[in-house]
C-alpha cells in the first residue's frame, strides 16, 4: 500500500483511493467463499455464517467508502453463486430469492450500505451541535466546489458529480434511491438557504 495510512483496519489515502477498500472487501469475500465451499455445510449454515461473521466486517470497511450498485453486485456475485450451489438451486434463479428474509435472509451489501448511509447522514444533519456544524461545512464545500447556489442534496447525480468526498458520494447514492434529506420550498424559482 503506497502513500496511505491504516487506522483501525481501514486504509486512508491522500487522494481518497476507493479501490483499496473495494479490493479489501473483495479479498474478504473470496476468502470466505473459498473456505465455505470446501466445508460440508447446509445452505442455512452458510447464510448464518455470512450474516453473522462477514457482514459486520464488510460493514466496517464500508465506513470508509461509498460503493455503487454495480460494484456491490460484482462483490456479491461469488456469494450468490455459493448460496445457489449449497442450496441446489439453478444459477439462473433470481438473487432476490436468497435475499428474501423469509427464505435465506442473505444480507445484500448495497442495501446494507443504504441503511448505514441514511442513518449516518441523518445523524450528521440532526446530531449535536458539533456534528451539525461539520455537516454544514461539508455541504457548503460541495456547493463551492461545483459553483452552485442550489442545495447539493437536490442536484447531485453520479454522472455530474464524482465528488471523492464521503458526504457527497453518500448524497449521490441516496438521491439515486429516492432518499431525500431536504424538504425545500421553492420561493421565486430559488431554494432558500438552509
DSSP H helical ranges for 66-108: 69-86, 96-99
Alpha-carbon distance 186 to 41, whole Å? 57
Q: What confidence score (pLDDT) does residue 150 get?
A: 65
At 76-116, the pLDDT tens digits run 999 999 999 999 999 888 988 899 989 898 999 998 988 88
pLDDT of residue 126: 77
Specify the higher pLDDT residue, 191 or 96: 96
pLDDT at 45: 93
User: What is the enclosing helix (H) or strand (E) of 9?
Assistant: none
- Over the chain, what is the mean pLDDT? 79
Q: How far apart are CA 43 and CA 22, in angstroms?
A: 26
Output 161 or 114, whichever has higher pLDDT: 114
**pLDDT band for position 41 (50/70/90)?**
very high
Domains in the chain: boundaries:
4-107, 115-176
Give residue 66's Cα distance to chain centre.
4
**Least confidently predicted of 9-13, 38-42, 75-79, 127-131:** 9-13
Amino acid at each position: 500500500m503506497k502513500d496511505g495510512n491504516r487506522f483501525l483496519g481501514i486504509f486512508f489515502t491522500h487522494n481518497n483511493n476507493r479501490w483499496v477498500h473495494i479490493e479489501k472487501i473483495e479479498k474478504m469475500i473470496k476468502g470466505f467463499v473459498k473456505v465455505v465451499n470446501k466445508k460440508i455445510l447446509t445452505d442455512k449454515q452458510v447464510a448464518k455464517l455470512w450474516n453473522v461473521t462477514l457482514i459486520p466486517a464488510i460493514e466496517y470497511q464500508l465506513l470508509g467508502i461509498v460503493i455503487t450498485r454495480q460494484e456491490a453486485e460484482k462483490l456479491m456475485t461469488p456469494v450468490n453463486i455459493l448460496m445457489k450451489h449449497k442450496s441446489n438451486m439453478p444459477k439462473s434463479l433470481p438473487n432476490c430469492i436468497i435475499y428474501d428474509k423469509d427464505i435465506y435472509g442473505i444480507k445484500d451489501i448495497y442495501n446494507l450500505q443504504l441503511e448505514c448511509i441514511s442513518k449516518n447522514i441523518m445523524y450528521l444533519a440532526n446530531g449535536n451541535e458539533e456534528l451539525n456544524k461539520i455537516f454544514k461545512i461539508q455541504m457548503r464545500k460541495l456547493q463551492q466546489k461545483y459553483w452552485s447556489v442550489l442545495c447539493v442534496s437536490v442536484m447531485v447525480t453520479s454522472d455530474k458529480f464524482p465528488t471523492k468526498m464521503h458526504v457527497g458520494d453518500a448524497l449521490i447514492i441516496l438521491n439515486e434511491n429516492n432518499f431525500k434529506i431536504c424538504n425545500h420550498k421553492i420561493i421565486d424559482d430559488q431554494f432558500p438557504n438552509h
